Structure 1
Amino acid sequence: MSAELILRSKELFARVFQEPANVIVCAPGRVNLIGEHTDYNEGFAMPFCIGKYTVIAARRRTGATCRITSAGVPGAISTFPGDSSLSPGPEGDWTNYVRGVVFGMLPMLPGGSCAFDAAVVSDVPLGSGLSSSASLEVATATLLESIYRLGADPKGKALVCQKAEQTFCNSPCGITDQFVCACGEAGHALLIDCRPPYATESVPLSDPRIALVVADSNVKPQLSGSEYPDRVQQCKDACAAMQAAGHSEVRHLRDATLSMLETVARSHALPEATVRRARHGISEDQRTLQAKEALKASDYAQVGRLMFASHASLRDDYRVSSPELDALVEIARGVPGVHGSRLTGGGFGGCTVTLLSRSAVPALLAAFEAEYPKRAGGRTASVFVVRPAAGAMLLQQGAGAEPLAGAPLSPQLSGVAKVTAALVLSAVAAAVIASKRQR
């Protein structure tokens, strides 16, 4: 965690609200090592947090009004109600991520309302597939936990944040990003079983012999309004076809096999695009579980092979890559000491992640600098080495925002009951928002 980022948040708060903040929290961005577009199919993903954070400096207020400002929108203060009258702002308004989390947590708050002033700063790159939105959501939830001393478990918090993005931002996202931002552990990747009750397993990823490099293509994901939901629907269509063929156990793609898909594709004349999307989902789950075992065995060559295979599947079957992402992966493939590389995040632009021997880092950076502009029309990549970092935490608290040790605020999962409660609250929030939109 950057001390400069904390200082910037405190200075912004004091400048805008004319008093010192007394609570400072943060939540990280993330990189998905493998397991892409699997979470909404109740599959498996293996992300890790990175040392780039969204930091919120804040102070609790009386009443039921929330005021928030961001270093990314200089001079602007957004105000919204902190009670059940809260609704989404204009489409595309960044505060909808905050509003959605506040709304989702209202049933947990004393009196069902909240009020705070908050200042947001972040060094998580925007629109690069590193989960800047989930970072903001989880930081907001961590803020509410802190100032109202809720003690919610990380998994329940992640579920509220996911529902916030779905209902207030109209994004049919899965659970991976919010989960790792809330539950991540320094030095580890987090294997997430995306089927309730969302079992997780920390997988060591701190071997000093290896390194992880993120390359931002500097192409912002260009999705039409239907690109993401179309793929979600195609996965559902494939499952429905397998159920119609007698495979009642197939609720999501994680329940299917490739041979089952091939048989049903022939007998039910499934569209080629639907078959390809389902083939990626099924095979990506297999690769993710294999990668977990390979990591535990320190078999980095095997992890790398699975990463390259994942990228090929995302490129050819799921069709979410881009020429720039493909170029970054192929440049990495040609560097001795590179084990594997793939796009990370939703695709259509954004970043790649590369696993390699630490000694090969200088050669990879030089290759990206020399070769990427030739293959990307003169565009340059933003490249940085990352290490698995800690998840959301309370950093400072008290009258003068005294520093803490930096331990995560929330305890580990205290039981399925808390996750179930969060799901119920999220469902209630979704129903209320749907009702408001119909008015």
Structure 2
Amino acid sequence: MASQIPSLVELVSEASSLYKQTFPGETPQIAACAPGRVNLIGEHTDYNQGYVLPMALPLVTVVVGSPSPGDDAIIVTATEHADEPRRVNFSLANKGPTLSPGAPYWANYVKGVIHHYRAQPLPGFKAVVVSSVPLGGGLSSSASLEVAFYTFLQQLRPDDGDKILKAVACQQAEHTHAGVPCGIMDQFVSVLGKEGHALLIDCRSLETIPVPLADPDLVILITNSNVKHSLASRFRDKLDDVIYRRARHVIEENHRTVKAAEFLKRGAYHEFGQLMLESHNSLRDLYEVSCKDLDGLVSAAMEVNGVFGSRMTGGGFGGCTVTLLKAHVIDRTIQHIQERYHGTPTFFVTTPSEGARNLQLS
């Protein structure tokens, strides 16, 4: 069966309870959230200034907290798999070594967002973070954390509200403090996600076109292989041949992504699904970032009548697949994958959700 996705109300309640436990006698005053994402098609094209077609997920990161002017900023994460310590304490008055990257690694995302926040100076604050976005699954838990924290900071000290520059600031945070030279897609869709829509993003111009994806007979199945692979030993071919195959994938993937958006607008799900499968095969053969686990999940899904298409999503070498299918075959599809796949996958049944937003605390 598919994993139950915690509701936003449940996550806010969990975060608020932890806040009260961590800071006895205090109650959080402000809250914000931002979603993870799944990319339907357009992989390894965003940092090549190409096209992508992601959607925001109901899996979100929630930040609750309160201003505490004059005090240190105290950040706490409730994420079970975060590296220790899960509580960090640093000063905003001196943006020196305390905001430099270091341990624990998760705090680097927070430090980076504070560093690149576009309305300085910030007051001191206390905050708690909880998330339903799986770590390391290719669903952009990092961008979800960055954007949620930026949205939280906007309530402490409002910036000019420019959403594109907000996404860019969060991308810069990942570059400078997490050491990941990511493209703009993850932060962009976490900020600008729209319920019932995927987003066709031109990563060069940053132009965004909402693509309706609200057919009640259609769902998106995310299958997490729960496997991580190393990049080592995968690039041993002659350099010129490698560059050719990588470039060919990017060029063809850009064409696929633009065509896929048009098919989705027309409800041409079979044609859209075929492009998903072509994308996966290209990622496997030309970009060489798939693995037997992801290939097995895709093959198993495609054997079920009512599945339109399936592909790996995210960086590769493990993580998740994304599958477009008819809603009434979801249970049959999950059962078939479990029977055919030799592993312990987890499943999330999703539809396109809203981007980052402020939350009301009761």
TM-score range, shorter chain: over 0.9
Query: Which of 10, 13, 28 lines up with 2:16 in the alignment?
Result: 10
Q: Deviations over 1:57-106 (max 9, x none)?
A: 1101112631111112588420122253253232661000000000001x
Deviation of the 1:191 alpha carbon = 0.8
Give, in angstroms, the shift of residue 192 of structure 1: 0.6
- Counterpart in the other structure of 1:410: none
Residue number in structure 1 paired with 2:4: none
Letter in 2 for 1:13: Y
Higher helix share: 1
Q: Match of 1:367?
A: 336
Of all paired residues, the percent bearing the same amino acid is: 44
Counterpart position of 1:164: 173
Q: Unpaired segments of 5 or more residues in structure 2? A: 1-6
Q: Residue by residue, what CA displacement relative to the aligned partner does 1:1-39 show, whole Å, maximum 9, x if unpaired? A: 431111000011111122110001101111000011111
Find the counterpart in structure 2 of residue 195 from structure 1. 204
Alignment of 1:3-402 (within 5 A): 3-18=9-24, 19-63=26-70, 65-72=72-79, 76-83=86-93, 84-85=95-96, 86-90=98-102, 93-105=105-117, 107-109=118-120, 112-196=121-205, 198-224=206-232, 271-373=240-342, 379-396=343-360, 401-402=361-362
Query: Following the alignment from structure 2 to structure 1, what is the Cα–Cα distance between the partners of residues 89 and 289?
Result: 37
Query: Which has the higher mean CA deviation after the structures are superposed, 180-189 or 363-372?
Result: 363-372
Unpaired runs of at least 5, structure 1: 235-268, 374-378, 403-439
The offset of 1:270, in angstroms, is 6.6
SS in 2 for 1:217: strand
Q: Is the 8 A contact 1:145 1:151 kept in 2?
A: no
Shift of residue 287, structure 1, vs aligned partner: 0.4
**Partner of 1:218: helix, strand, or coil?**
strand
Aligned equivalents of 2:229 and 2:70: distance in 1?
A: 40
Judge conservation of contact 1:128–1:221 (CA < 8 Å) in 2. no
Judge conservation of contact 2:37–2:56 (CA < 8 Å) in 1: yes
Aligned counterparts of 2:51 and 2:320: Cα–Cα separation in 1: 20
Letter in 1 for 2:255: Q
Aligned length: 350
Contact 2:122–2:156 at 8 Å: present in 1 too?
Answer: no
Q: Which has the higher strand share?
A: 2
CA contact (8 A) 1:91 1:169 kept: no
CA deviation vs aligned residue, 1:384-416 (integer Å, no higher than 9, x gap):
2111111111012xxxx34xxxxxxxxxxxxxx
CA contact (8 A) 2:123 2:156 kept: no
TM-score normalized with structure 2 length: 0.92
Alpha-carbon RMSD: 2.0
Deviations 1:404-434 (A, max 9, x none): xxxxxxxxxxxxxxxxxxxxxxxxxxxxxxx
Deviations 1:265-287 (A, max 9, x none): xxxx9711110110111111000
Alpha-carbon displacement from aligned partner over 1:307-361 (angstroms, at most 9, x marks no partner): 0000001111111111100000000111111110001111110000000112221
Distance 1:170 1:154 in 2: 23
SS at match of 1:6: helix
The one-letter amino acid paired with 2:119 is M
- SS of the equivalent of 1:208 reads coil
- Could you tell me the TM-score, scaled by structure 1's length? 0.76
CA distance in 2, matches of 1:302, 1:320: 24
Provide the secondary structure at the position in 1 that maps to 2:126. strand
Q: Per the alignment, do residues 310 and 29 of structure 1 end up closer, same or farther by CA in structure 2, a change over 3 Å counting? A: same
Deviation sequence 1:122-163 (CA, Å, 0-9, x none): 111110000000000000100011121324222111100000
Q: Please give the secondary structure, in 1, of the residue aligned with 2:318.
A: coil
SS at match of 1:30: strand
